[in-house]
Amino acid sequence: MKLLLNGDPITTEATTLDAVLDENGYAEATVATAVNGDFVPATLRSSHTLTEGDQIEVLAPMQGG
């Protein structure tokens, strides 16, 4: 399946958001996720099914002042 991850095209056999994050090195990271512009909380990532062409955004928290 072809997806966009942070604007970059990827090809994967993964069918859930959790699996795509794991494949791409985000398994242990504390991040916020959105699919097609909709926030997906960490508790729902394993059940969030992806479809061809979905756009995934992964954002890491930043500290500032």
Kindly report, residue by residue over 2-55, the tens digit of the pLDDT.
Answer: 999 999 999 999 999 999 999 999 988 999 999 999 999 999 999 999 999 999
pLDDT at 34: 98
pLDDT at 60: 87
Q: Is residue 65 in a domain?
A: no
The CA-CA-CA angle for residues 18, 58, 45, to 5°, reads: 25
Rounded Cα distance, 60 and 48, in Å: 20
Rounded Cα distance, 17 and 41, in Å: 11
pLDDT at 8: 98
**Quick one: tokens of 38?**
């909709």
Q: Is residue 9 in a domain?
A: yes
What total number of domains does the chain contain? 1
Place 65 in a pLDDT band, splitting at 50, 70 and 90: low
pLDDT of residue 63 exceeding 80, the answer is no
Total-model pTM = 0.90
Rounded Cα distance, 21 and 16, in Å: 9
Structural domain boundaries, residue 26: 2-59
CATH classification of the domain holding 41: 3.10.20.30
